[in-house]
Chains A and B, each alone.
Chain A
Amino acid sequence: MASLSTGVTAAGLPAGVSAGLGRLAATAGRRVAALGVLAALWESLPRLRVVDPTFLTPLSEVLVAWWDLLLSGELLEHTQASLIRSLAGFALAIVVAIPLGLLIGWYKPVAELLDPVLELFRNTAALALLPVFVLILGLGETSKISIILYACAWPILLNTVAGVKSVDPLLIKSARSMGLRPVRLFQKVILPAAVPTIFTGIRLAGAYSILVLVAAEMVGAKAGLGYLITYAQFNFRVPDMYAGILTISVLGLLFNQLLVRLERRFSTWRTT
């Protein structure tokens, strides 16, 4: 590698560019290095019998199991079931929490009315309420989507309220001095100013939608990645269990990356 990069420099690339490329490669290298070490440990520890391979399957075998699950169509079915639940809960949370948050942030009386209730519920872990959801809504899809909706709604709601409340008063004053009435003021100043903060909430909710999913699918589900993981564990299909876990991690990662990109797009101006 070293000789190759020297060759490129000699071929006529300006020194600055090749130095930049070198830095980029170094950063990428460091990022991959930790993952590489993790993968190597996952592979070698069970093989060297440092841990019992019955409980920690080597990575290569997990990947084979994952491939088999993919070929059999089983993985797709579970992923699809999970994604539908996650996205439904996530989307509903956006639809419910953003308007509610705007209302609470903008109208003091609404805030005073709802604040105590919100304080109580936001300090109750979503998963602690899972049994309640199951008892009331049954074991079907409704309770699963509801618990995801519930978990996702909080970060969106709280960030929306914060976003509306933290709008620079000077901007409001400036817009008022140009004769803007409350409705236009809200539409032209409050809302755009709050968008980046709201998006931070949406990104957090995206992570929650995957995190809560697994727990929701561990009771009374017939499909889904959470179901796959528990089912595989009960039947001692340990490689399949790890394959399920890996899939959920990657899914969460991809979803988060997507939302981070979206967030960046909507808040390019917030770099000062």
Chain B
Amino acid sequence: MKIQIQGVGKEFRVRGAGRPFTALDDVTLDVRAGELLTLVGPSGCGKSTLLDLLAGLTEPTSGRILLDGAPVDGPGLDRGIVFQQYALFPWRTALSNVEFGLAAKAVPRKERAERARSYLDLVGLRGFEERYPHELSGGMRQRVAIARSLAFDPDVLLMDEPFAALDAQTRESLQEELLRIWEKTGKTIVFITHGIDEAVYLGRRVAVMTSRPGRIKRVVDVEFDSRDGDLRADARFGEYRHQVWTLLRDEVAAARTEEVVHVG
């Protein structure tokens, strides 16, 4: 097992409220080495909180997270994160953004540019090395962000709704690209999304979360006879989609009533 999430809970203290806010409650999930697991859940179910925990940016209130058998202790370059809002440094060029992680890893200066270039090449951005983020489209920025996370060669790639801010066409082409990169690099990928189609299309397993407080409701194995051609037109795709949709439907409804109660 690459990642073991064991009975993890996370509470936040809320200003003005008497009792803490429970974002995650008793989450247990294993991620296998080299697999692409998608995590889907209604908005506000604590998906991103779970990702922060995996990244080591925050600590669980209860339970523990093991990475290669050792508890996660703070952030590290063995995990790379790709955020929905790209999080590129706007004062750095595409190349220099990719070099950032390499510098953090203390890769010799001479090697950095070369490696950064080859990763930009991998995400299809040859010729855009000297562009600044504001000169790139949303899809290209996310490609740079993916290249940046891949360049320092982490074992695990954590992706937090990375394609949610992109238009449908760009999203689909990036999804395909991600699968290609995954097959080529063999990284373990945890991919968070609220899109059912995306979860089924990308994930070899789809973990469905409950509404707040977030738990793992079910893990669905996604298997196709062949992944060639238009996967979304496959009858099995529709079945998986429906299965996940059914699992999520009650949760989305629960999330909504809670929201109404909160607002009202």
Binding site for B on A (CB under 8 A): 168, 170-171, 173-180, 184, 188-189, 192-193, 195, 268-272
19 CB-based A-B contacts, threshold 8 Å:
A170-B83, A170-B85, A170-B87, A173-B57, A174-B83, A175-B100, A177-B57, A177-B75, A177-B79, A178-B77, A178-B101, A178-B152, A179-B74, A179-B76, A189-B89, A192-B91, A193-B89, A269-B91, A270-B90
Residue of A nearest to B79 (CB): A177
Of B90, B91, B100, B134, the residue contacting A178 (CB under 8 A) is B100
From known contacts A192-B89, A192-B91, A193-B91, infer whether A178 and B75 are also in contact, taking CB-CB under 8 Å.
yes
* Chain B residues with CB below 8 A from A168, complex form: 87
Pick the most buried of B55, B91, B103: most chain A CB atoms within 10 A of its CB: B91
Report Cα–Cα, A212/B101, bound state, in Å: 47
Residues B130-144 near A (CB distance < 8 A): 132-134
Residue of A nearest to B81 (CB): A177
The list of the 9 closest CB pairs from A to B, nearest first, reads A174-B87, A272-B134, A178-B104, A269-B91, A269-B90, A177-B81, A170-B87, A177-B75, A192-B91
Pick the most buried of A173, A176, A179, A180: most chain B CB atoms within 10 A of its CB: A179
Residue of B nearest to A172 (CB): B87
* Chain B residues with CB below 8 A from A178, complex form: 75, 77, 80, 100-101, 104, 152
A272 touches B75 (CB 8 A): no
* Chain B residues with CB below 8 A from A174, complex form: 81, 83, 87
**CB of A184, distance to nearest CB on chain B (Å):** 8
Extra contacts, 13 of them, besides A170-B83, A174-B87 (Cβ < 8 A), are A171-B87, A173-B57, A174-B81, A177-B55, A178-B75, A178-B80, A178-B101, A178-B152, A179-B74, A179-B77, A184-B104, A268-B132, A272-B133
* Chain B residues with CB below 8 A from A176, complex form: 57, 75
* Chain B residues with CB below 8 A from A189, complex form: 89
Residue of A nearest to B56 (CB): A177
* Chain A residues with CB below 8 A from B74, complex form: 179
Residue of A nearest to B84 (CB): A170
Q: Is the interface of A mostly helix, strand, loop or mixed?
A: helix
**CB of A89, distance to nearest CB on chain B (Å):** 30
A272 touches B90 (CB 8 A): yes
Report Cα–Cα, A178/B154, bound state, in Å: 10
* Chain A residues with CB below 8 A from B89, complex form: 171, 189, 192-193
Residue of B nearest to A189 (CB): B89
**CB of B206, distance to nearest CB on chain A (Å):** 25
Q: Interface digits, B62-91 against A, CB 8 Å rule (1 contact, 0 not)?
A: 000000000000111101110101010111
* Chain A residues with CB below 8 A from B152, complex form: 178
Report Cα–Cα, A179/B104, bound state, in Å: 7
Report Cα–Cα, A195/B85, bound state, in Å: 22
Report Cα–Cα, A177/B134, bound state, in Å: 23
**CB of B202, distance to nearest CB on chain A (Å):** 22
* Chain A residues with CB below 8 A from B101, complex form: 178
Report Cα–Cα, A98/B134, bound state, in Å: 27
* Chain B residues with CB below 8 A from A188, complex form: 100, 103
Report Cα–Cα, A82/B83, bound state, in Å: 53
Report Cα–Cα, A271/B193, bound state, in Å: 30
**CB of A226, distance to nearest CB on chain B (Å):** 39
Residue of A nearest to B93 (CB): A269
Report Cα–Cα, A269/B90, bound state, in Å: 6
Residue of A nearest to B52 (CB): A173
B57 touches A269 (CB 8 A): no
A180 touches B132 (CB 8 A): no
Of A171, A173, A180, A269, the residue contacting B104 (CB under 8 A) is A180
Report Cα–Cα, A179/B152, bound state, in Å: 12
Report Cα–Cα, A168/B90, bound state, in Å: 11
From known contacts A178-B100, A178-B152, infer whether A269 and B132 are also in contact, taking CB-CB under 8 Å.
yes
B87 touches A173 (CB 8 A): yes
Q: Interface digits, B23-51 against A, CB 8 Å rule (1 contact, 0 not)?
A: 00000000000000000000000000000
* Chain B residues with CB below 8 A from A268, complex form: 132
* Chain B residues with CB below 8 A from A270, complex form: 90
Report Cα–Cα, A189/B76, bound state, in Å: 17
**CB of B261, distance to nearest CB on chain A (Å):** 29
Report Cα–Cα, A179/B79, bound state, in Å: 10
**CB of B154, distance to nearest CB on chain A (Å):** 9
* Chain A residues with CB below 8 A from B79, complex form: 177
* Chain A residues with CB below 8 A from B80, complex form: 177-178
Report Cα–Cα, A189/B90, bound state, in Å: 10
Residue of B nearest to A272 (CB): B134
* Chain A residues with CB below 8 A from B75, complex form: 176-179
**CB of A181, distance to nearest CB on chain B (Å):** 10
Report Cα–Cα, A171/B74, bound state, in Å: 17
